[in-house]
Amino acid sequence: MSQSLKNTTFKNISYNAFGKVIAFCFQSAASIILSRELVAEDYGVAGFAMICVAFMKNFSGFGINKAAVHAEYFDEKAMNTAFTLRQIIGCLAFAITIAFSGLAGHFIEHKAITSVIRVLAFAILIDNFSLVSTIYLERNLKFSIISFAETGLTVASSITAIILVMNGFKYWSIVYGYIAANIVFVLITYLYRPYRFRFSIDVVIAKQYLKYGSMVFLTGLLFFAIFNMDNFIIGSVAGLAQLGFYAIAFNWGAMVCSIMGAVVFGVLFPTFSRMRGDPVRMKQAYLKIIQYTALFSLLFNVGLFCVADNFLVTVLGKGTDKWLPSLHTLRILCFYGVIRSLIEPASSLFMSQGNTKIPLKAALLVALIELTLVYPAIRFGSIEVVGLAVLLAYSCQLLVYLPALKKCNNILAGEVWTHIWPALASGLVMLLCYFSLTGLFGYGLVNLAVSVLILTLVYLVVYGLLTRWRVYLQLRDLFPVSRECL
C-alpha cells in the first residue's frame, strides 16, 4: 500500500472509529434501556417486521451504489442515471411492501404486524434520496462525512427509541427510531453534497450499472437471507418470544462485527478498488486488516462469552433473569461473530477486483446449509441448535474463500494463520482464566466490571508477549499518521 493511500485509508478508519465510539455509546445505551423495558415478544414484533422491510430495502438498492463507486467515472449523466434507477426500483419496492404486508399475519400471530410493516416501508422511500450523495462521498473517500452521517443516524435512532420506550410505546419505539435514523442520514449527506433531482437515464450507463449491480445485488440478497433466514423461521415456527430471545443473542454476538463493518470494512471496498492494479499492495493491506480484526474481535467476543450470564442478568435484565434463556445461544454466537469478522474482508477484496462470483458462491453455500438446517433445528430442537447451525453454515465459507485467496491473490492459508494465531491463542488463555476463576465473582455491576478488567488485561498482555509488542507499536504509529492528515 502506497504511503499516501495508506495514510488516507487509516485516516478514514480513524474518522470511522471516532464516530463509531460515539455511536456505540448511544446504541449500547438504547439497547440496554430497551432490553430493560421491553419483553421478548416486543423484540419479536419489531424484528420480524424489520426482516420484511429490510428485504425490500435491499432490493431497492440493486447494487447501484457499488456499481457507481466501482465505475471509472461518475459525471452528471451517471449521477442522474443512478438517481433515476434508484427511484424507479425503490418506488416499486415500496409498493410491493405495502401490497403484500397483510401476508405477514399468516406467519406471525400479532394484530399490529401489518401496521408495523407499512410504517417501516417508508424507510425505503426515504433512503432513495441518500444514494447520489453517498456515492460521491465513497468515491472521493470522504469517510469523515459518512462517519458523521452514520453517527447522526445512530444517535437519532437511539434518542428517539429511548424517549418513546420510556413513554410506553413498546415495540413502536424501535419502529419510529428506525424511521428517524433514515431521515437524519439523508439530511446530513445531502447537506454536505447537495444535488439537483433530475430524472434521466443514459442507456449505456444504466446497462453497466445494472450488469455489475445485479451480481452485487444477488450476493447481497443471499447475505440478507443468511443473516435473516434464521430469524424468519424462528418467528414463524417458535413464536415471537423465542425470536426475541434469539434476537438479543444475535445482536450482541454479532456486535463487534457490526462495528468492524462500519469502522473498517466500509472503507475497504473503495480503498481496494483504488489498489486493484497492484496485487502486492492489496495482499499486504488484506493481511494487515485481518491481523487487526482478529485482535479486536477475539478480545470482545471471547470476553462477552465469559461474562454473558452476568451481563444478561445485571445489565439487560435489570437484575432479573428474563433474558437468561438467551445465554447459551449468545455464547454460541460469540464464536459466530469472530468467524464473520475474519471472513468479511475477503468479500470486500474480491468485490473491489470485480470478481463478484466468489462472494456469490460463498453466499450460496451458506444459504444452502442454513436452508437445510435451520428449520429442523428450531422445529425439533431450540434456538441454541439454530445458533450452532448458523455458526457451522457461516464457517463453511472458508472452503470457498481460502482456495480463492490463494488462486486470485496469492494469499496462502499459512499467511492468514500467521496473522491471526496470536489473537486465537490469547483468546484461549482468556477462556482458561475464566474457567479457573468461575464462581469467584457473583452477579452485579461491580463484579462485572472487575471480571471484564481482569480478562481484558490477561488477553492484552498475552497478545503483547506473543507478538513481542510489535502490533501495538504499529497501531500506535498509525494514529499520529492519521492526525497529521486531518
Instruction: Domain ranges for the chain, please list them.
Output: 3-485
Q: What is residue 23's predicted lDDT score, i.e. its pLDDT? A: 75
At 482, the pLDDT band (50, 70, 90 cuts) reads very low
Q: How confident is the prediction for the chain on average, in pLDDT?
A: 84
Residues 86-109, buried b or exposed e (16+ Cβ, 10 A)? bbebbeebbeebbeebeebeeebe
Residue 77, burial from CB neighbour count under 10 angstroms (0-12, 13-18, 19+): middle
Q: What is residue 163's predicted lDDT score, i.e. its pLDDT? A: 95
Whether 24 has a pLDDT exceeding 70, the answer reads: yes
Residue type, 363: A
Give 122 or 7, the one with higher predicted confidence: 122
16-30, 353-367, 402-416: lowest mean pLDDT where?
16-30
The pLDDT > 70 percentage for the chain reads 88
What is the DSSP code string of 402-420? HHHHHHHH---HHHHHHHH
CA of 333: how far to CAs of 63, 115, 149, 305, 369, in Å? Answer: 28, 31, 29, 9, 17
At 481, the pLDDT band (50, 70, 90 cuts) reads very low
CA distance 276 to 350: 10
Q: What is residue 260's predicted lDDT score, i.e. its pLDDT? A: 64
Q: What is the pLDDT of residues 83-114, one digit of tens each?
A: 998 888 889 889 989 998 888 888 887 888 99
Count the neighbouring beta carbons within 10 Å of the beta carbon of residue 119. Answer: 18
Distance of alpha carbon 117 from the chain centroid: 22
2-11, 353-362, 384-393: lowest mean pLDDT where?
2-11
Widest CA span of the chain, in angstroms?
Answer: 68
- Average confidence (pLDDT) over 312-325: 92
Whether 356 has a pLDDT exceeding 60, the answer reads: yes
CA distance 35 to 39: 7
At 69, the pLDDT band (50, 70, 90 cuts) reads confident
Give 55 or 100, the one with higher predicted confidence: 100
Q: What is residue 485's predicted lDDT score, i.e. its pLDDT? A: 39
- Average confidence (pLDDT) over 164-189: 93
156 Cβ neighbours under 8 A, 6+ residues apart: 177, 180, 181, 183, 184
What is the DSSP code string of 320-383? SSTTGGGHHHHHHHHHHHHHHHHHHHHHHHHHHTT--HHHHHHHHHHHHHHHHHHHHHHHHT-H
CA of 184: how far to CAs of 177, 190, 251, 309, in Å? Answer: 11, 10, 23, 36
Whether 12 has a pLDDT exceeding 70, the answer reads: no
Whether 479 has a pLDDT exceeding 80, the answer reads: no
- Average confidence (pLDDT) over 236-242: 90
- Average confidence (pLDDT) over 54-60: 76
Q: What is the pLDDT of residues 124-149, one digit of tens each?
A: 899 888 888 888 888 877 767 877 88
Whether 354 has a pLDDT exceeding 80, the answer reads: no
Q: Contact 413/406 with Cβ under 8 angstroms?
A: yes
Whether 441 has a pLDDT exceeding 50, the answer reads: yes
- Average confidence (pLDDT) over 437-441: 70
Whether 450 has a pLDDT exceeding 70, the answer reads: yes
Q: Contact 16/143 with Cβ under 8 angstroms?
A: yes
CA of 361: how far to CAs of 230, 349, 366, 381, 414, in Å? Answer: 20, 15, 9, 29, 23
CA distance 17 to 48: 30
Pick from 384, 116, 445: which is nearest to 250 by CA?
A: 384
Q: Contact 459/423 with Cβ under 8 angstroms?
A: no
Q: What is residue 427's predicted lDDT score, i.e. its pLDDT? A: 96
Q: What is residue 457's predicted lDDT score, i.e. its pLDDT? A: 96
Whether 386 has a pLDDT exceeding 80, the answer reads: yes
